[in-house]
Structure 1
Amino acid sequence: MDPENPISVADVVISTAGRDQGELFYVADTDGQFVTLVNGKNRPVEKPKRKKRKHVEKVLRSETRVAEKIRSGDKVLNGELRRDLASLSRAMQANNLGG
């Protein structure tokens, strides 16, 4: 865990270990050394993934509508998660390719 950049609810993280390595997730909950991850596809809201903090890396603190819904505890749809993470992924790839 990075003490200067702690992982909190509604942050976007990338998995650094395991079968889902390289995938983007929203943090749905935090609990000590574990985080609960959702992405709306293979990890829907109904069946989140519990993963150790050391196996994820914070990408950014998202300020999207979906992130606000997660923070406030409102119901989030899997389609919203998929769309949001896909657009973030495209933006990250464009930034990496652009320079």
Structure 2
Amino acid sequence: MSIAGLVTALLVGVASGLFGRLVIPGRREAPIWLTVSVGVVAALAGTILARLAGVDTGTLTLLTLVIQVGLAGSGVVLVVATAKPQPSDAP
């Protein structure tokens, strides 16, 4: 993985984490650091998946970007949709 692919995956992951948090309606039980970190990890996994599929990840291509955004968006939606409310510490 090149530096450009890594930086792109990081930017896509952070953007997907923040944007996904805004798009999902209702209460947001998952903390923001969790949605951003899931977005980054999923975007990096998208880069690896694209590389395994034979896509050139050394430069920014539309196919790599679509795979990164797709995985990052799916991961963030899953995390936000399945997050459970945290119990309050107050009696």
Q: TM-score, normalised by structure 1?
A: 0.33
- Pick the structure with greater CA Rg: 2
Determine which structure has greater relative contact order: mean sequence separation of CA pairs < 8 Å that are 6+ residues apart, divided by chain length: 2
Q: TM-score, normalised by structure 2?
A: 0.35
Give the structure with the larger helix fraction.
Answer: 2
